[in-house]
Structure 1
Amino acid sequence: MSVPEIHTARLRLTVLSARDGALLYRYVNNNRAHLAPWEPQRDEAYYTLSACEDRLFVGYQHWLRGDALPWVALHPETGEMVASCHASQISRGAFQACYLGYSIAAEYQGQGLMREVVAGCIDYLFTELRLHRVMANYMPHNHRSARLLTALQFEREGYARQYLQIAGQWQDHVLTARINPYSSG
């Protein structure tokens, strides 16, 4: 099975394997402080090369099984990792849905790249995987995510108190979803 690729106007999205661990290693270490307020607390082992290789190996296996799609966005000239967009818990049967998570390197914020990446990922989920629903949740104080999801036509569906433990604290989340406009039935 060949690894899927999406080419956006400025980036290339693909699924990495364990042999690409150095790319993820640089991304997580260069953006450690930048991403910390939006992620679970991480121990030091998370930031090692071997842990990055392990996460990519596991992500690749999830992709092969069809229950996740761990996209990374690569810079077309340097090949460096710019962002990630991860479709997880892909469900089939009557649900046909997934959850979406994403991050972008600090140096690439404010350039519209995250919108480009997430839009490309959603298009693939709707047209290639033919999912009916994509769900994405964000903390109420994450105004960038709120604007991004609104711009990408996600609708607010609820509010979950103390939903996830982020940065060591139980955080409320706004629950949003987008329905595939191409779905029938």
Structure 2
Amino acid sequence: MITPPSLQTPRTHIRLAEEADAPKLLRYRLENQAHLAPWEPLREPEYYSLAHCIRTITEGRAHASQDRGYPLIAFDRDEQGILATFTFANIVRGAFQACHLGYGVAARMQGQGLMLEILRPGIAWAFAELGLHRVMANYLPRNERSAKLLAQLGFEREGYAKRYLQIAGVWEDHILTALIRPDT
């Protein structure tokens, strides 16, 4: 069994959420609802409830225990609040050894280099501990911040998918990128 990470960066502690973190997750969701809405699927009102946060955490821990996905949270150093989230999702083993990366950052932390700070060690963990060969990340063509972030991390453009995901209620095109583990 793979041990989920406990990573430190200058501003964060990164780990899987525990049920006791549900109030922090709810606060993060409520505080960033308008900020994240243009980049996410439509959310039902229940998404912004403590019960849904508990279910999300429980499901995320189950996915990690089954090596299907690792929904990680970047807490501030004293773990009083959530600064960002990222997930290694849809893990495929066998000949592929790959996953999809998704992420979001609190509005108050945007533009401060936080995602670069947390994704570098997060991706290194995914390559080393999960043994992944490929991490894929897709972004909306108008999302210039994601384009810049992924380029800084070394992701390369691999394609363009028309009407790829339903974001904010609209089927949106996405730019497809990937990062290959450097030693393979």
Alignment TM-score > 0.5, same fold = yes
Contact 1:126 1:182 in 2 (8 A): no
2:140 counterpart residue number: 139
2:94 counterpart residue number: 93
1:155 counterpart residue number: 156
**How far apart are 1:78 and its partner, in Å?**
5.0
Alpha-carbon distance in 1 for matches of 2:99, 2:175: 16
2:83 counterpart residue number: 82
Matched residue type, 1:123:
A
Alpha-carbon distance in 2 for matches of 1:171, 1:20: 32
Secondary structure, aligned partner of 1:61: helix
Q: Unaligned 5+ residue runs, structure 2?
A: none
**How far apart are 1:19 and its partner, in Å?**
2.7
Q: What stretches of structure 1 move > 4 A for 4+ residues in a row?
A: none
**How far apart are 1:3 and its partner, in Å?**
4.3
Matched residue type, 2:129:
E
Segment drifting more, 52-61 vs 116-125:
116-125
Identity %, equivalent residues: 48
Count of matched residue pairs = 183
Contact 2:5 2:125 in 1 (8 A): no
Segment drifting more, 15-24 vs 42-51:
15-24
Alpha-carbon distance in 2 for matches of 1:78, 1:178: 30
Aligned Cα RMSD in Å? 1.1
Q: 1:30/1:70 Cα in 2 relative to 1: closer, same or farther (>3 Å)?
A: same
Give 1:28-177 correspondences, 5 Å limit.
Answer: 28-177=29-178
Q: Unaligned 5+ residue runs, structure 1?
A: none
TM-score (norm 2): 0.96
Secondary structure, aligned partner of 1:131: coil
Alpha-carbon distance in 1 for matches of 2:178, 2:79: 34
1:5 counterpart residue number: 6
